Amino acid sequence: MALERLFRRRRPSGENRDVPELWTKCEACGAQLYKKEFKENLYVCPKCGHHHRMPAAERVEMLADPGTFQEITRLRPLDPLAFLDTKPYVERLRAYQEETGRPDAILGGVCAIGGVPAVLLVMDYAFAGGSMGSVVGEEIARGAERAAAEGRALVIVAASGGARMQEAALSLMQMAKTVMSLDLLWAKRLPYVSVLTDPTTGGVTASFAALADVILAEPGALIGFAGPRVIRQTIRQELPEGFQRSEFLLRHGLVDRVTDRRKFKGELAQVLRHLHPGVPYGAGV
Amino acid sequence: MALEFERPILELEKRIQDLRETARTTGVDLEAEIRLLEERLERLKKETYENLTPWQRVQLARAPGRPTTLDVLEKAFQDFLELHGDRAFSDDSAIVGGLAYLEGEKVVVVGHQKGRDTKENLRRNFGMPHPEGYRKAMRLMDLADRFGYPFLSFIDTPGAYPGVSAEERGQAWVIAQSIQRMSRLRVPAIALILGEGGSGGALAIAVANRVLIMENAWYSVISPESCAAILWRDAKEAPRAAEALKLTAKDLLELRVVDAIVPEPEGGAHKDPEAAIRNIKEVLLKTLEELKGLSPEALYQDRYRRFRALGAFAEP
């Protein structure tokens, strides 16, 4: 703490603006964290264990076996409704695209996870709150099709506020589309593992994310159907402590396991090896 | 209870009625004046009802007296027999369902049920189901599949209930399961958006081979009020949100989210529920006929292709 204050005082205001900040703060316990170490610790606070949101690209790096990931998500969004709120949807899209360097809120590819061939799809919360519009829905359906065609497992990492409002009914239809595409994996006895991260709510939870063979959640993630603000307004009461957090879901029988991010890769690989009919006992890393 | 935009029409109707009354009691001939007003009334009705804004249609979709699922089941069908409960936890009265005949053909029916007055609305939770409601719907889907009877669903909900108990019992999970269960039906499935089609809570029982919508119903990913509260930070902007969301029957037909529109009597289904229900029956029979020749597998494939094709995006 004191050290950080010292650094700050020494830096003349207005200068060195583009030098990246070296330090950050834990959102939960407020501990000062050296950014480089924080990243190496997968955005988990070494002091209190709080899991911070993680950029999609780093999630891919964390889960895919080194050197195996080949990106397959390429679709670009359109503005089918010519949606206009306080800003045109196309402008919002452009801003998110510039910010994230991605056409839409999903990054995915083929890879191996613990030696098991997989299609890995990661939702990007930084892009429009990870919301699901036509592109996300279509990429998930294509991902499932690809997995089924190539005998791969499907892994989807959810991080999303739900369906994307600016594509309205078409976003809603993506819920049905993604759910139906999972049938292809069923038919071929290929595993589908859903990873729920902070936050996963609305039309994403209420479609493909809830229908996996195995559902793994990160500690402390907000997961549910309605957002807490909406529920508070509806019932006009304060919500119980820990409501809609991963541990609450585990207690209510809605997820299989709550797994620390630092052990996540190993556990995911184990689940995939267990499930994938093509992987014999003792195989893999 | 009159809707805001209907008031000038009702006032004019009242004036005509008063004039008739005066003519009758005093014996004065007011025919010419009455005819003039009647012509004006016709013009006004035409102007109003042919140019309804999306927000006005949302209000019509919620109008008291509009046919509910039970009204349709009791009047368009024969021998409706309600079945209760999810065989696990409870009976959710926000979703009703059971067995019925449509022109003598056996069918399984399910729908959201709003109350027809305040007391009933409280009991039915304003048509907002809990998880047990969707589990009941899934149980009835099983029944339809087991006997090979067509499955017909009626959608009329502001959305699935956003509450603590619903979350604890896995609201998102049952909605997802219901979408999946319905998509896997091996019988003809028809869904009709009767009034409000609010988000996942509506879609959960609308994954049909053919999706129909009443002329003044709405169907979208979020209600205009909630959309306005998020995007404009003010629920009072709901009329603008209703516009932006393209939630009307005509818009949805263009987006291919729905396959056909069921016409309503002038001024909305609540003005003449009997006529509205006659139209519903006619369209249901016609739609069912279209699906008849398809095999169980073809019905599944047809539904898969229908939803697989929805969305707008660009290839790189």
pLDDT digits (tens, 9 = 90+) for A143-176: 999 999 999 999 999 999 999 999 999 999 999 9
Question: Is the distance from CB of A105 to CB of A160 less than 8 angstroms?
Answer: yes
As beta bridge partners, residue B296 has: none
From residue A284, give the alpha-carbon distance in Å to each of A117, A148, A202, B188.
Answer: 11, 21, 36, 46
Contact A180 B183 (CB under 8 A): yes
Q: How far apart are CA B153 and CA B207, in angstroms?
A: 9
Res A282: pLDDT: 82
Residues of chain A contacting residue B130, judged by C-beta atoms under 8 Å apart: none
Contact B314 A75 (CB under 8 A): yes
Residue B252 to chain A, least CA–CA distance (Å): 8
pLDDT digits (tens, 9 = 90+) for A119-136: 999 999 999 999 999 999
Q: Which residues contact A263 (CB under 8 A, 6 or more apart)?
A: none
Res A8: pLDDT: 46
* DSSP-derived secondary structure for A221-284: -BB-SS-HHHHHHHHTSPPPTTTTBHHHHHHTT--SEE--GGGHHHHHHHHHHHH-TTS-TT--
Q: Which CATH number fits domain A53-275: 3.90.226.10, 3.40.50.300, 3.50.50.60, 2.40.50.140?
A: 3.90.226.10
Q: How far apart are CA A132 and CA A167, in angstroms?
A: 9
Residues of chain B contacting residue A181, judged by C-beta atoms under 8 Å apart: 308
Using only the alpha carbons of chain A, give its radius of gyration: 20
Q: How far apart are CA B117 and CA B1, in angstroms?
A: 12
Q: Is the pLDDT of residue B157 over 50?
A: yes
Residue of B nearest to A208 (CA): B176
Q: How far apart are CA B223 and CA A230, in angstroms?
A: 13
Q: Which CATH number fits domain B58-308: 3.90.226.10, 3.30.70.360, 3.40.50.1580, 3.40.30.10?
A: 3.90.226.10
Select the residue of A86, A135, A211 nearest B176 (Cβ to Cβ): A211
Mean pLDDT along residues A55-84: 97
What ipTM is given for this predicted complex?
Answer: 0.96
Select the residue of A138, A176, A224 nearest B172 (Cβ to Cβ): A224
pLDDT digits (tens, 9 = 90+) for A29-47: 999 999 999 999 999 999 9
Residues of chain A contacting residue B166, judged by C-beta atoms under 8 Å apart: 225-226
Residue of B nearest to A254 (CA): B170
Burial class (CB in 10 A: 0-12, 13-18, 19+), A21: exposed
Mean residue pLDDT of chain A comes to 93
Res A21: pLDDT: 84
Q: How far apart are CA B97 and CA B204, in angstroms?
A: 14
Residues of chain A contacting residue B164, judged by C-beta atoms under 8 Å apart: 231, 235, 239-240, 243
Mean residue pLDDT of chain B comes to 96
pLDDT digits (tens, 9 = 90+) for A186-198: 999 999 999 999 9
Question: Is the distance from CB of A72 to CB of A109 less than 8 angstroms?
Answer: yes
Residue B295 to chain A, least CA–CA distance (Å): 19
Q: Name the CA dihedral angle for B139, B140, B146, B148, rounded to a multiple of 10 degrees.
A: -160
Nearest to A262 by CA among A69, A62, A113, A122: A62
Contact B244 A244 (CB under 8 A): no
Residue A89 to chain B, least CA–CA distance (Å): 11
Contact A172 B203 (CB under 8 A): yes
pLDDT digits (tens, 9 = 90+) for B85-142: 999 999 999 999 999 999 999 999 999 999 999 999 999 999 999 999 999 999 999 9
Res A284: pLDDT: 58
Burial class (CB in 10 A: 0-12, 13-18, 19+), A44: buried
What is the domain partition of chain A in residue ranges?
A: 1-52, 53-275
Most A CBs within 10 Å, among B205, B221, B222, to test the A interface:
B221
Question: Is the distance from CB of A259 to CB of A217 less than 8 angstroms?
Answer: yes
Terminal Cα-to-Cα distance of chain B (whole angstroms): 53
Q: Is the pLDDT of residue A3 over 80?
A: no
Residues of chain A contacting residue B302, judged by C-beta atoms under 8 Å apart: none
From residue A257, give the alpha-carbon distance in Å to each of A108, A161, A190, A204, A219.
Answer: 23, 22, 20, 19, 10
Question: Is the distance from CB of A185 to CB of B309 less than 8 angstroms?
Answer: no
Q: Which residues contact A281 (CB under 8 A, 6 or more apart)?
A: none
Q: How far apart are CA B273 and CA B265, in angstroms?
A: 8
What is the domain partition of chain B in residue ranges?
A: 11-51, 58-308
Token pair 């707008």 in the structure block, residue = B312
Distance of CA A42 to the CA centre of its chain: 14
Contact A226 B252 (CB under 8 A): no
Mean pLDDT along residues B184-188: 98
SS3 state of residue A70: strand
Token pair 């959710």 in the structure block, residue = B92
Most A CBs within 10 Å, among B203, B223, B233, B313, to test the A interface:
B313
Question: Is the distance from CB of A131 to CB of A167 less than 8 angstroms?
Answer: no
Q: Is the pLDDT of residue B39 over 50?
A: yes
- Give the Cα-Cα-Cα angle A101, A134, A116 (nearest 5 degrees): 70
From residue A42, give the alpha-carbon distance in Å to each of A154, A217, A247, A262, A285.
Answer: 23, 15, 20, 7, 21
SS3 state of residue B38: helix
Size of the A and B interface in Cβ pairs below 8 Å: 192
Res B76: pLDDT: 98
For residue A199, is the peptide bond before it cis, meaning its omega torsion is within 30 degrees of 0?
yes
Residue of A nearest to B227 (CA): A165
Q: Count of CB atoms within 10 A of residue A187's CB?
A: 9
Res A237: pLDDT: 81
Res A19: pLDDT: 60
Which H or E run includes B250? helix B249-254
- The confidence band for A235, taking pLDDT boundaries of 50, 70 and 90, is confident
Q: How far apart are CA A31 and CA A38, in angstroms?
A: 11
Contact B175 A225 (CB under 8 A): yes
Residue A13 to chain B, least CA–CA distance (Å): 34
DSSP state of A208: G
The two three-digit tokens of residue A284, written as one number: 């893999």
Terminal Cα-to-Cα distance of chain A (whole angstroms): 41
Nearest to A276 by CA among A189, A159, A162: A189
Strand-pair category, B218-220 with B189-198? parallel
Residue of B nearest to A240 (CA): B164
Residue of B nearest to A137 (CA): B311
Select the residue of A75, A202, A254 nearest B313 (Cβ to Cβ): A75
pTM: 0.94
SS3 state of residue B217: coil
